[in-house]
Amino acid sequence: MEKLSDELIARLVSSALAARGKAYAPYSRFAVGAAVLAASGEIYCGANVENASYPAGICAERNAIFHAVAMGERRLYAIALCGGKEGEKLGACFPCGICRQVMREFCDPGQFLVVVATSPTDWTVHTLARLLPDSFGPESLG
């Protein structure tokens, strides 16, 4: 996919912000929303969901990606995410290592865009290759 338009990035960011409002984060109070753009053009959203047994929770990014995959998507082009403590101004919320590896499964890391938003109009764009250099992917298995 070629460079995403600012309008499409703004749609992704808006979707991520809306998803953040649905986060279930009673323990950390750190709510995260994500929106992933699939090859079909569809946008799939997810929010972090915590659990009293901490390892049973899931990050917003994986929630969105798994939603897309469950709907039949296998190729992803971009993801937008936003997060921060409830009631506080959003800060730059980058994906954790596990989420970066899950992203890697369904994209070309040199082309996949990770949009980190702090507001509807303020974001930075990174490639997954920059955030996960020398990555291990499906082609690594031969």
Indicate which residue of 42, 61, 73, 86 is catalytic: 61
* 122 occurs within a structural domain: yes
Write down the pLDDT at residue 34.
98
The phi and psi torsions of 35 (rounded to 5 degrees) equal -140, 125
- Tokens 């690594």, residue? 140
Write down the pLDDT at residue 3.
80
* 7 carries an active-site annotation: no
* 132 occurs within a structural domain: yes
Q: How far apart are CA 21 and CA 86, in angstroms?
A: 10
* 44 occurs within a structural domain: yes
Q: How far apart are CA 113 and CA 82, in angstroms?
A: 14
How far is residue 10 from each of residues 54, 72, 81, 86, 88, measured CA to CA in Å?
32, 25, 11, 22, 21
Write down the pLDDT at residue 142.
86
What is the tally of structural domains in the chain? 1
Q: Domain with 110 in it: what CATH number?
A: 3.40.140.10
pLDDT in tens, 80-126: 999 999 999 999 999 999 999 999 999 999 999 999 999 999 999 99
* 1 occurs within a structural domain: no
Q: Percent of the chain at pLDDT above 70?
A: 99
pLDDT in tens, 59-70: 999 999 999 999
Domain that holds residue 73: 6-141
